[in-house]
Amino acid sequence: MPALRRKNGREPACEACRRRKLACDHETPACQRCRRLSLKCVYLANPLTKGRARSLPEADSPTVLNNESEGVPSTKTCPGAQSTTPILESSAEYLGPTSFSSVFVEHRDRFGVDQTLKTPTGGGIDGVGAQSPTQPGNPTITPRMLQLGIQILQNLPDERTCNLLFVHPMALMDACFRPAYRIASDKMWDEYRDVLRLRNSEHLQFVAKRFSECSLTPLPAVQDPHLWIESFSGKRTRWELLGSLFTFWSSAASQLPVQHDIITQYCQQHAFKRPKDLMVHLKRCASMCIELCSQLGAINILFVHLAFKHNILESIASGDKSLSCWRQHGDVIAVTTSIGLHRELSSDWNEVSFQYELKRRVYASIYNFDKVISTFTGRPPLLNRKYSTTKLPLDIDDEDIFSGRIGDAVAKLNSNGWDSSEDRQPYPATILRARAMLARNREEMLEVLETSQDSITDAAVQTCLHLKAQATDIYAQFPEVIKFKTDHVHDRDMPGQLLALRVLVRLDFLLNLFILERLLTRHRVVDEQALIQVSHEMVGLTLIYWKHKDRFENHVDFSWLAMSYAVPGSGILCLELLRQSSSPETYTLELPRSDIIQDLSVLVAFLDWLRPSESDIAAKAQIKGILQRSLDRILSMPASLHSPTRALDALPDFVGADPHLDLLNTFAWVDWDAAL
């Protein structure tokens, strides 16, 4: 129940119910009616009753209403866009060499501009952790902001639940933030434990104000990792930290089994029926933190990581091809480029320090996700390597970074930037670096694909062959610790997480080859043999996640794996089976018919077992139906191997009876204008 009270002592209705003059049940963070209708749910102690009512923005996370009279910036634009200042006033924001101020910045000596002004590279460390300093005209803390802060704090899990939710496996996109946030979380509880246990409204308002004041303060870009953690924890705790903690807790909630004690107790207290409800609840709280940071102008590397983590959660909750996920991804790209994470001076490329590695890891995570979601949806990527000069993160363990042993770790790297130590385990940066390298290779493929839809030039063919060789060379230089081998599946001593990561890296590599082979096959540059082999391996590797799902208990992305890797390959295999059945005497390609049919049958069962997000349900059901009908047709024509005439007569009827057979042409799924 919200602790806010109106002047008459009654509990306030949320703004959505109040404006519509409907009864409100006062639940937090969102009443049942707002959750059911996906409305923004906001509680105000003294709601404004005068003036024309404005419609609430269409979003799924509770937030505070904007009011121009109180100076609260509009958040209809990119988060933080309203709070940044021109580079002539601040060095925190990246403005490139074509910007309106570039002439004045480059010749600041002649114009007498402040010598502290930085050149517009955005690659300096000053732009990594800092944000626009508080100046006249910058946001101030308003009563509405404090009310939103109180609402966030009221929904903070208890300390025991927070600690238990933090122990689950590290995600690749955590960079080196997870160990830092573990320490910062403890410092926050040490400072505010008594207040956060009692949850007194007056005390919560004091804490909300303290958090807001800290978020208004620029984040220092110190090189000492422990001093950096202290700058946003303890007495200096900021909304960026709390929002990120909510994303960690939400991610853990999505991975916990239904019978887990945390799920049972927390769901009973908050009337949640399933783990996903808890995951969405915590994600909404993170969204509220994002809203508050945007209004306070707290746009820095912590905020970028928070927005990115929230975007990942949105893809899990709503689906990778949902509009909400794509819009949030656009916001992440906007804040990433606005503070210059994509830029480094060439003179800084050989620099190795805590802040440089922090920046490179965050940017590599966002860059890789940009290519993943672009390939999945068929939409153009939003980040381009041609406008990015930030170097790849080095293959260094997080412990070496936080212990100050970066120099020793760098000494173990080979000429390609990989740790050459024997008997080592992969670090989070190892997988991140590998996937980012394959993402760069894929971006070039997508550029060729975009210009070769109807026809392909000789130059484009040569580019494709070059990119294929490049992808092979990239995979060959990866350390053995992240390369998949068939016998790994039967090694029960190998941790499930390590096996999953090796399979994922191999699938990323195969997907690059699949895109190229599909393009070359479509234009009759090569035959389908290589495409068949790549497709078959993609399907087989993806099925490992289901056949051995007992080893991957902490994975929640089975649906994305199936749709991203197995489904495109299955379409190619189905087409080749149909072609072989229709023309067995003239079909000359090597096609392991029995193995393929078995894998496709298992894939149908896999798709039937999946519980995708609502936006992916229709696509999954449609593809499963196509595969089933294709297998039925293939298995019902055994005589075609001896009587090609009958098979040829039957195939056109089948094609005409199924208007969705075109979906088997998986080339369309990586087209700019197409999507699942």
Q: Express each pLDDT in 237-263 by its tens digit.
A: 999 999 999 999 988 887 766 556 666
Q: What is the pLDDT of residue 495?
A: 87
Q: What is the pLDDT of residue 655?
A: 39
Whether 28 and 255 have beta carbons less than 8 Å apart is answered as no
Greater model confidence, 75 or 212: 212
Q: 599 pLDDT exceeds 80?
A: yes
**Which of 159-168, 354-363, 522-531, 619-628 is predicted with the least confidence, judged by mean pLDDT?**
159-168
Say which residue the tokens 């916001």 belong to.
331
Q: 600 pLDDT exceeds 70?
A: yes
Q: How far apart are CA 637 and CA 673, in angstroms?
A: 36
Say which residue the tokens 């090189």 belong to.
223
Looking at the structure, do residues 7 and 149 belong to the same domain, yes or no? no
Looking at the structure, do residues 34 and 183 belong to the same domain, yes or no? no
Closest CA relative to residue 279, chosen from 292, 260, 298, 295: 260
Other Cβ atoms within 10 Å of 270 Cβ, number: 15
Q: What is the pLDDT of residue 539?
A: 96
**φ/ψ (deg, to 5) at 222:** -85, 150
Q: What is the pLDDT of residue 211?
A: 96
Task: Please report whether residue 89 resides in a domain.
Answer: no
Specify which residues 14 forms β-bridges with.
Answer: 43
- Pick from 286, 321, 339: which residue ends a domain? 339
Q: What is the pLDDT of residue 653?
A: 43
Mean pLDDT computed over 358-372: 94
Greater model confidence, 518 or 554: 518
Q: How far apart are CA 632 and CA 492, in angstroms?
A: 36
- Pick from 280, 309, 339: which residue ends a domain? 339
Q: What is the pLDDT of residue 126?
A: 43
Q: 103 pLDDT exceeds 90?
A: no
CA of residue 25 relative to chain centroid, distance:
34
Looking at the structure, do residues 147 and 28 belong to the same domain, yes or no? no
- The pLDDT confidence band at residue 54, using thresholds 50, 70 and 90, is very low
**Which of 49-58, 379-388, 536-545, 566-575 is predicted with the least confidence, judged by mean pLDDT?**
49-58
Structure tokens at 166: 């933090």
Q: 125 pLDDT exceeds 90?
A: no
pTM (2 decimals)? 0.79
Number of domains in the chain: 3
Structure tokens at 62: 């509770």
**Which of 49-63, 83-97, 318-332, 344-358 is predicted with the least confidence, judged by mean pLDDT?**
49-63
Q: What is the pLDDT of residue 630?
A: 87
Task: Please report whether residue 354 resides in a domain.
Answer: no
Greater model confidence, 609 or 336: 336
Task: Please report whether residue 210 resides in a domain.
Answer: yes
Q: 667 pLDDT exceeds 50?
A: no
Task: Please report whether residue 183 resides in a domain.
Answer: yes
Mean pLDDT computed over 297-302: 91
Percent of the chain with pLDDT over 70: 75
Q: 177 pLDDT exceeds 80?
A: yes
Task: Please report whether residue 61 resides in a domain.
Answer: no
Q: What is the pLDDT of residue 101?
A: 66
pLDDT tens track for 483-519: 999 999 888 888 888 898 999 999 999 999 999 999 9
Greater model confidence, 224 or 139: 224
Looking at the structure, do residues 159 and 298 belong to the same domain, yes or no? yes
Q: What is the pLDDT of residue 674?
A: 37
Looking at the structure, do residues 147 and 41 belong to the same domain, yes or no? no
Percent of the chain with pLDDT over 90: 44
Looking at the structure, do residues 185 and 319 belong to the same domain, yes or no? yes
Residues 6+ apart with CB under 8 A from 606: 543, 546, 558, 562, 566
Structure tokens at 258: 């239904």
Q: Which of 119-133, 405-419, 532-546, 569-583 has the highest mean pLDDT?
A: 532-546
Q: What CATH number should be reported for the domain holding residue 9?
A: 4.10.240.10
Looking at the structure, do residues 152 and 296 belong to the same domain, yes or no? yes
Buried b vs exposed e over 562-581: b needs ≥16 C-beta within 10 Å? bbbbbbbbbbbbbbbbbbbb
Other Cβ atoms within 10 Å of 269 Cβ, number: 11
Looking at the structure, do residues 36 and 149 belong to the same domain, yes or no? no
**Which of 143-152, 476-485, 654-663 is predicted with the least confidence, judged by mean pLDDT?**
654-663
Task: Please report whether residue 291 resides in a domain.
Answer: yes
Task: Please report whether residue 174 resides in a domain.
Answer: yes
- The pLDDT confidence band at residue 95, using thresholds 50, 70 and 90, is confident
Q: How far apart are CA 432 and CA 175, in angstroms?
A: 8
Task: Please report whether residue 102 resides in a domain.
Answer: no
Greater model confidence, 141 or 167: 141
Q: 639 pLDDT exceeds 60?
A: no
**Which of 521-530, 578-587, 660-669 is predicted with the least confidence, judged by mean pLDDT?**
660-669
**Which of 88-102, 471-485, 493-507, 544-558 is predicted with the least confidence, judged by mean pLDDT?**
88-102
Residues 6+ apart with CB under 8 A from 77: none
Whether 212 and 146 have beta carbons less than 8 Å apart is answered as yes
Domain extent for 29: 1-45
**Which of 97-106, 298-307, 598-607, 648-657 is predicted with the least confidence, judged by mean pLDDT?**
648-657
Q: Which of 61-65, 267-271, 288-292, 561-565 has the highest mean pLDDT?
A: 288-292
Amino acid letter for position 310: H
- How confident is the prediction for the chain on average, in pLDDT? 79
CA of residue 569 relative to chain centroid, distance:
24
Greater model confidence, 590 or 650: 590
Mean pLDDT computed over 333-359: 91
Say which residue the tokens 């210009």 belong to.
451
- Pick from 339, 368, 385: which residue ends a domain? 339
Q: What is the pLDDT of residue 132?
A: 42
Q: How far apart are CA 661 and CA 648, in angstroms?
A: 17
